[in-house]
Structure 1
Amino acid sequence: MTLARILLCNVLGALLVFSWYLPQLTLWTTVDDSIFWFFNQFITLRHPDWTMILALLNTRFFDAAAFGVMGILFVLAMKHDPSPKRGVKWTGIGVVMLLTAGLLALFTNDGIQYGHASPTLFFAEAHHLTDIVSIPAKDSAHNSFPGDHGLMLMVFAGFMLKFASRRLATLSVALVVLLSAPRIMVGAHWFSDVYMGSLAIALIVLPWWLGTPLASTLTQAFANRLQHIIRRLHLHR
């Protein structure tokens, strides 16, 4: 990625933040409220099938299934990599990706002073999914900003854009939309939590990490270290 593209991503991220902070612009409030109330009107006893589907999409089981889908894409990316030592290479990519996700999670939890409640807690008249279904599902958060779930999906998509084939990278980007949607639809997150907060962080941070030699160098260092360990194990057999 060229410096111009990195700066363009940063400008887009900054514009997202700027558009949200301007008090005279009600774009995000209008979008957030409209999307929340559109889906919330169907979370009632009159729509049992729909509420059950939403509940299932917001369980820990679905989160685990989503993680499994990302794992499958990761393995496919490794299998389609023509590199002779692709196993070691993609192990290094996985380690760096997890480190990146962990550091960003720490930053969003401890470094961002602003926070707000999810729409289901903000609006007293909101319908709560957990009042209708019996299965444990997430439909609220005392601090939903930024969307941590969406940000982790964007980290995965960013690494796939960097290291995987175009087809798998495109599927990974599509997963960001598909897998972050259930939290928004049920009211556990505002739309802006993901597509302003998470996306702004991703556009500002990830280009400098993935668009420069930093991530590739660290990935290669982990791969070299793993290869060294493998060689030593073979020698001691």
Structure 2
Amino acid sequence: MSRLPTMAMLSLLGVALFISWYLPAHHGIWFTLDSRIYHAVNHQAVRHPQFADFLAITNNRIFDLGSLLTMGALYLRYFLRADAAGRHRMLAIVLALIITALVLNQLGHLVPVSHVSPSRYFKATPDVVSIAELTHIPTKEFSSDSFPGDHGMLLMIFAAFMLHYFGRRAFLQAVLIFLFFSAAVAMRW
């Protein structure tokens, strides 16, 4: 059975989502949604020091390494179960995954959109508190260009490769990894 119709539909959905964000003045409803989520998370960090610590930890570069190691652990599990021919095939798959991620990352930076991180955008808002003021954990607070997000894109590419080459079970595991690390990255300041 051909996956072409599904791929075309999902691609069109992605383009429609992008257009719904890109075309309206000030990004329409997406800006309102982003602003409300950002302010809600910021206020929770102020009220709950443990949550502020969690945000600081997930904004640390070492946390980024955690997502890479988690993806690697899932891939390694399938790699160790494979025979010699399967392992050679899997090395080619991981090489294709890396090349795909690098190419798509570079293409993503060609999109004529620059979007600073919410922490930089809302920095001057009087009711916003910096994570550095709430915790002493080293953290990355700002990003000058957070669209498209490198971390989310890599996690999606990984999930797509797991679905294509290893089936639904591997895909569901990769989606869980994607959801956890994307949610953590999305709360980045």
* TM-score normalized by the length of structure 1: 0.71
Aligned residue runs from structure 1 range 120-199, under 5 A:
120-123=119-122, 124-125=124-125, 126-187=128-189
SS in 2 for 1:139: coil
Contact between 2:70 and 2:177, CA under 8 Å: does it hold in 1?
A: no
Rate the CA distance shift 1:2–1:47 in 2: closer, same or farther, 3 A. closer
Percent sequence identity is 32
Distance 1:3 1:119 in 2: 36
Equivalent position of 2:100 in the other structure: 100
Equivalent position of 2:68 in the other structure: 67
Equivalent position of 2:118 in the other structure: 119
Aligned residue runs from structure 1 range 69-84, under 5 A:
69-81=70-82
Equivalent position of 1:89 in the other structure: 89
Aligned residues: 184
Contact between 1:129 and 1:186, CA under 8 Å: does it hold in 2?
A: no
Distance 1:56 1:9 in 2: 33
Contact between 1:77 and 1:165, CA under 8 Å: does it hold in 2?
A: no
Contact between 1:116 and 1:144, CA under 8 Å: does it hold in 2?
A: yes
Give the drift of 1:178: 0.9
Deviations 1:15-41 (A, max 9, x none): 112211342773212221121111111
Distance 2:3 2:119 in 1: 42
Give the drift of 1:53: 1.6
Give the drift of 1:80: 4.3
Matched, 1:26 2:18: no
Distance 1:128 1:183 in 2: 16
Question: Please, which runs of 5 or more residues in structure 1 have no aligned partner?
Answer: 188-237
Deviations 1:80-100 (A, max 9, x none): 45x661110100001010001
